[in-house]
Amino acid sequence: MRRVRRQDTAAELLVQRWLRMHGQRYRKRNRDLPGSPDLANRSKRWAIFVHGCFWHSHPGCKRATIPKTNTDFWTRKIADNRARDARKEGDLIALGFRVLVLWECEAEQLGINERSASRLFTLLHPPQ
């Protein structure tokens, strides 16, 4: 478990590259915001979480499996992660932020997956 990265994961770096290519400014490691979003722009009031499919149990993803050993621990751990994610997302929305959760598998296909790119574009340019 020591090799599991907490920040600057491959998926995060891809999202950062996409944002830079589209001329967006952001801050990383926002410890002062609820949930410490991976990327945020305070002036435009948006935040992005790049969640790992395993750690946050991405519905319908083949990477979101429960290990066969110590199943009770992992089930409780992942359920707690999801509850904390929902709470922190709500806290950010209460502060007036638009929040987007991008999954690891979506971020890896950002250049070719039109759905992920359109979700990001909508977050950055909301309809008036």
Higher per-residue pLDDT: 16 or 111: 16
Contact 27, 36 (CB under 8 A): no
- What domains are defined for the chain? 10-123 (3.40.960.10)
Q: Percent of the chain, pLDDT > 70?
A: 88
Contact 48, 116 (CB under 8 A): no
pLDDT category at 3 given cuts 50, 70, 90 is low
Is the alpha carbon torsion for 73, 74, 75, 79 positive or negative? positive
Residue range 46-95, pLDDT digits in tens = 999 998 888 888 888 888 888 899 999 999 999 999 999 999 999 999 99
**Coil, strand, or helix at residue 46?**
strand
Contact 65, 59 (CB under 8 A): no
Burial of 19 (0-12, 13-18, 19+ CB in 10 A): middle
Say how far apart CA 59 and CA 124 lie, in whole Å.
25
Tell me which range, 49-53, 95-99, 112-116, is most confidently predicted by mean pLDDT: 95-99
Full-model pTM: 0.84
Contact 34, 91 (CB under 8 A): yes
Tokens of 81: 């992660």
